[in-house]
Chain A
Amino acid sequence: MKFRGFIYPTIGTLLLLCAWEAAGRNGMLGRTFPALSQVLRVFEDGPRGALLVRSTIATLGSAAEGFTTGALLGAAVAVLAHLVPPLRRGLDRMAVLVNALPVIALAPVLIITAGREGTPAALASVPVFFLLYTSTGVGLRGASERLEMMLLTLGASPWQRLTKFQAIAALPQVVTGMKVAAGSSMIGAIVGEWFGAPSGLGVVVLNSMENYQIPLLWATVIVIATITLSSYGLLTLGERAVRRRIGECDA
C-alpha cells in the first residue's frame, strides 16, 4: 500500500516531465514553451544561476518577514477578539474587509506608504494576517466545551483558561492556517516586487518576460513552485507533529 502510494505519483510526475521535454523539443506548443532540459540549463549557467540565487534570497526574505508579521498580528488580534467579546464583531469585519481588498489594488497604496522596498513584505503580510486571524479564532472558540466547564469549575480565570487550555487546543488550527498562509505570503511578496522593487523573483519574472528570456522565465517559475510546495510540505509535517502531540480533546 505504502509502496504504491509512493510509486504511482512518481511515475505520473516522470511521465509529465517527459511529455514536457518532448513537447518542448518538437516546438509543439510554440516558441514560448521550451524543453525542460533547456530550462534546467539556466541553473548551471553562471550569471543567470547567480541571479536566481540572489533573487530567491530577496523574495524569501520579504515573504518570511511578511509571514512573521502577518501571522503574529493575526494571532494576536484573534486573541484580543477572544478575550474582549465586544470587540469581536468589529474585528471580524475589519479582517473580512482586509481580505476583500485585491492585493493588486492594494499595492499602489503600499508603494506610497511602505515604499518600494517595503511593499513586498507588506503585501505578503496581508493574506497571512487574515488567514491566521481566522484560523486562530476558530481554534480558540472550537475548544471542547467539556474541558471549558472543567476549567471554570476549577476557578480558572479567563487568562488561565487561555494559556493553559484554549491556546494549546487551538495550535493544530493555527498550524493549518500557517500551512495555507505560507503560499499566500509568496504570492504577496512576488506581486509586491512588480511595483519597482530593486530585486527579487518577481522582478526576474517581469524582466525575463519583457526581454523574451523564455527559459529564465520558466526557471523562475520552477523556483517559485519549489519554494511554495516545500513550505507547504514542511508545514504539513509540522501540522501532523502538532496534532499528534496535542491529541484529541474530545477523545
Chain B
Amino acid sequence: MATLALSAVTRSFQRRNSAGKRESFVALGPLDVRIGDGEFVAVIGPSGCGKSTVLRLLAGLDTPSTGLVEINDRPPRELQAEQKLGIAFQEHALLPWRSVEGNLRLPFEVAGVPATPARIGELVALAGLKGFEHARPAELSGGMRQRVAIARALALHPKVLLLDEPFGALDAVTRRRMNFELERIWLESRPTTLLVTHSVEEAVVLADRIIVLTERPGRIRMDVRVPFARPRPAELVRSAEFHRLVDELTASLEPA
C-alpha cells in the first residue's frame, strides 16, 4: 500500500539576475497532487517545468521550499531508508564492475536481506536476460541495461516505483518495445508508480493518469485519465482513440 501526496509544494532555486545579484526564483508549484495506491501516473511537460524535481522530491533526494511531500503520510526519506522505494533513471546507473546478477543483488546487500538464487533468477527472467547473467553492463545494449535497472528497482518489491525518463536514451523502436515490456513487468506487482517523460505516446501507453505541467514555474495544466484497459495491446498505438488523446495532450504542451 502506498499513496503519494504533494501538498502546496513549491521548490525555489537561487540564480543571478541581470545585475549579477543573487535572487531566488520559483521553479515548481504551488502543486497539489495525490496519487492513489497502485496507480500509474505519468508527468509530462515542457523542458524545465520541474517534472524531474517532482520525482526527486518523492525520492527523498530533494526537499520542498514550502509545502509537504509525503508517502503514506510519512516523509520520503523514511521510506528510502527502509528500502521501500524503487527508482530508475534515464541513464541506467549500473555498477560497471558488476555483472547483471551482481547488479541485481545490490538492493539485497544494501537492505541486508539474503538474495536467494531463485529470486535473482526471477529478476533476470523479468529483465528478459536469461543467458546474460554474467555479462557486465559494457557488454549489454542500451535497452538491456535499462531492463536490468528496472528489474533492480523492483527487486525488493517496492511500494513505490519512480521512473525518470527511463527510456530517454533509447531509439524509437526499442523505446516502444520497452514500453510494453514495462507494462508487463509492472502488472506483476503493481507498485504505485510515477513516470516522468518527454514522450506523450509513452505516457499514454503506460499510465492510468497523466498530469501535464505548465512551463516554469511548473503547475498542473491538465490531469486526465487514460481510459484503455490493461494489459494494453500493441495495436493500441494504431487506434484512433490513442491518437486523439496523444494529440490533445500534445496540444496542451504548447505555450498558452
Contacts and interface: CB of A to CB of B under 8 A. Distances in A.
B60 A153 contact: yes
Contact of A247 (B89, B97, B106, B109): B97
A147 B103 CA distance: 12
Contacts of A168: 95, 97
Contacts of A152: 60-61, 80
B80 A153 contact: yes
Given A168-B97, A247-B138, A151 B110 contact: yes
A84 interface: no
A93 interface: no
Contacts of A48: none
Interface string B183-226: 00000000000000000000000000000000000000000000
Nearest to A144: B93
Interface residues of B, number: 24
B96 A251 contact: yes
A153 B110 contact: no
Interface in A134-176: 146-147, 149-156, 160, 164-165, 168
Contacts of B38: none
Contact of A251 (B59, B82, B110, B138): B138
A154 B110 contact: yes
B151 to A, nearest CB: 14
A147 B85 contact: no
A198 B40 CA distance: 77
Interface in A192-251: 245-251
A153 B87 contact: yes
Interface residues of A, number: 21
B61 A149 contact: yes
B2 to A, nearest CB: 15
Nearest to A151: B110
- Chain B contact residues: over half helix, strand or loop, or mixed? mixed
Given A146-B89, A153-B61, A164 B96 contact: no
A148 to B, nearest CB: 9
B138 A147 contact: no
A76 to B, nearest CB: 22
B37 interface: no
A171 to B, nearest CB: 9
A152 B109 CA distance: 14
A98 B231 CA distance: 66
B81 A247 contact: no
B36 interface: no
B59 A153 contact: yes
Residue of A146, A155, A156, A160 with highest tally of chain B CB at under 10 A: A155
A168 B97 CA distance: 9
Given A146-B93, A149-B89, A155 B61 contact: no
Contacts of A246: 96-97
A164 B106 contact: yes
Contacts of B85: 153-155
A247 B83 contact: no
A155 B59 CA distance: 10
Contacts of A155: 80-83, 85, 110-111
A146 to B, nearest CB: 5
18 contacts: A146-B93, A150-B87, A150-B89, A151-B110, A152-B60, A152-B80, A153-B59, A154-B110, A155-B83, A164-B95, A164-B106, A164-B109, A164-B110, A165-B95, A247-B97, A247-B136, A248-B96, A249-B96
Given A147-B93, A150-B89, 4 more contacts: A153-B80, A154-B106, A155-B111, A246-B96
Interface of A: 146-147, 149-156, 160, 164-165, 168, 245-251
